[in-house]
Amino acid sequence: MIEDAGRDEDLRARFERLRQEDASQAPAFGAMLAHVRSSAATLQRRPVVVADTAASRWRPSRLALWGAPALLAASLVFWMVEDRLADREFDLLVSEWSRTDGALQSPTRDLLNVPGAFLLNQVPAVGNGSSRRGL
């Protein structure tokens, strides 16, 4: 416990030294405020020059106005072409599978052949009297 108290005092002293160092390096708030006000006044006195160049004609808002629909149309065309290619690939796969005449069999075909599966295809005779033997 005594060691912990000494460590706490040591940490407090170190943090206090760091606070003092930070405070000594920080600029005065009044000086910062005066600098910002003078910079703002200088910016307000400057004339605004608008040059009609090719760069100014293609502002970001104009690019968004024309670029977004163009990007949407291009992605729609790409999506349609991609779907058609996937459909063609599926059709080719089905036609190739159909040409094999069943020579290829699934590796899991025997999993459904369980003992007694034929019982599922029969309807049991109930109540017709044929089940009574010897009466």
pLDDT tens, N- to C-terminus, the chain (135 residues): 557 778 899 999 999 999 999 888 888 888 888 888 888 888 766 665 655 555 556 666 777 777 888 888 888 888 877 777 778 888 888 888 777 666 667 778 777 778 888 887 888 778 765 555 554
Q: pLDDT value at position 14?
A: 94
The upper half-sphere exposure of residue 100, i.e. CA atoms within 13 Å in the direction of its Cβ, equals 10
Query: CB atoms < 10 A from the CB of 72, how many?
Result: 10
80 residue type, one letter:
M
- Whether the model clears a pTM of 0.75, i.e. scores above it, the answer is no
pLDDT at 78: 81
pLDDT at 101: 64
Residue in the structure block whose two tokens are 């080719």: 92
Per-residue pLDDT, 95? 82
Q: What is the pLDDT of residue 97?
A: 75
Q: Where are the domains of the chain?
A: 1-46, 59-98
Which pLDDT belongs to residue 125? 77
SS (H, E, C) 55-89: HHHCCHHHHHHHHHHHHHHHHHHHHHHHHHHHHHH
The reported pLDDT for the residue numbered 48 is: 59
d(CA 88, CA 82): 10
